[in-house]
Homo-oligomer: A and B are copies of this chain.
Amino acid sequence: MSAHSVDISTTLGNAWFPAPIFTASGCASSGKELAQFFPLKDIGAVVTKSVMNKPRHGRPTPRMAETPSGMLNSIGLQGPGIDAFLANDVPWLLAQNARVIVSIAGETADEYGVLARKLRSTPGISAIEVNISCPNVENRGLVFATDRDTSCRVIDSVRKVIGGEIPILAKLTPDVTNIVDVAKGVIDSGADGLALINTVLGMVINIDTMRPHLGGKTGGLSGPAIRPIAVRAIYQVREALPTVPILGMGGVSSGRDALELILAGASGVSVGTASFGNPTAVISIQNELRELLAQRGFTSLKQAIGYAHRV
């Protein structure tokens, strides 16, 4: 089996992607910088930084701390606001022939509805990722995904606007007692798929200042350190909801890691933090994955999705 003949295309709901490796939201900005290192059309999709309705400054610096095999970030959803984003970034990405998944974030369920309405009138977008799990907001109550009911209300208000033209992926946090329960809730509310996982809430204390290191005190833990948590979350959700497509993410930095998430149940894999350490990570991971699939005798990526669950 030659790596080249493996069909690595994938689908998330009714959206088709020629390849399964995506950027992770917030870890590729709007794609322009990574385009210097590889053509964006060669990867599955660019998932853009979560955008809010209004421009937003985000959290104070320091915004990052490196941790063993991981990092904390507390960006706090800095961004230009949806209007500037749709006017500048989306057309640029489409001109590169990249697939675009737009991640949205709001302070209220209604704001998500407003954002969805603006996206509905933008042609060319492949899917919407609904970020209900950003830990970097002043009020932790805003992490909708820690509560099943508030999560459902957000998905509801997006679903009301998006009639099925493009899939809605709900992005969940692992920082909950029962992620399967939240997953079931958002699927019942009309999400077409899930994005698992967002960062894990963490903190670093600077032993020189003897205070929390990050300007925002807590931050989101990402990178290889959290991969076992991502694999577990994906596996659990796939076991409970075997037909729901999952976009997996969390600590993927090699083809081996991507395969691990796919075997656990992911139909596509987003690469986040790995791009910080290696600007060509996304494309290398995709190439390595293709090889690994071929070595294992898979003729298509789809055969490998959730394969670890076979009896």
Once the chains are docked, how many angstroms separate the CA of A177 from the CA of B147?
Answer: 8
Given contacts A68-B69, A251-B68, A308-B212, contact A204 B177 (CB under 8 A): no
Shortest C-beta distance, A117 to chain B (Å), equals: 30
Chain B binder among A8-16, A79-87, A217-225: A217-225
Interface window among A55-63, A118-126, A255-263: A255-263
Q: Which residues of B contact A201 (CB under 8 A)?
A: 229, 232
In contact, A263 and B225 (Cβ under 8 angstroms): no
* Chain B residue nearest to A265 in the complex (CB): B205
Interface residues on A, range: 35 or more
- State whether the Cβ of A146 lies closer than 8 Å to any Cβ in chain B: yes
A177 to B72, CA, bound (A): 19
Bound-complex Cα distance A229 to B202 (A): 4
Using an 8 Å CB-CB cutoff, how does the interface string of A129-162 with B read, 1 for contact, 0 for none?
0000000000000000011000000000000000
A75 at the interface (CB under 8 A from B): no
Interface positions of A from 224 to 247, Cβ below 8 Å from B: 224-229, 231-232, 235
Question: Chain B residue with minimal CB distance to A202?
Answer: B228
User: Are A228 and B207 touching (Cβ within 8 A)?
Assistant: no
- Whether B205 and A231, one on each chain, are in contact in the complex, defined by CB atoms closer than 8 angstroms, is yes
Cα(A189)–Cα(B162), bound, Å: 48
Contact among B207, B223, B260 for A292, CB-based, below 8 A = B207
**Besides A67-B225, A204-B260, A217-B235, 9 other A-B contacts (C-beta < 8 A):** A67-B228, A69-B225, A146-B178, A177-B177, A203-B235, A205-B235, A205-B260, A210-B307, A225-B225
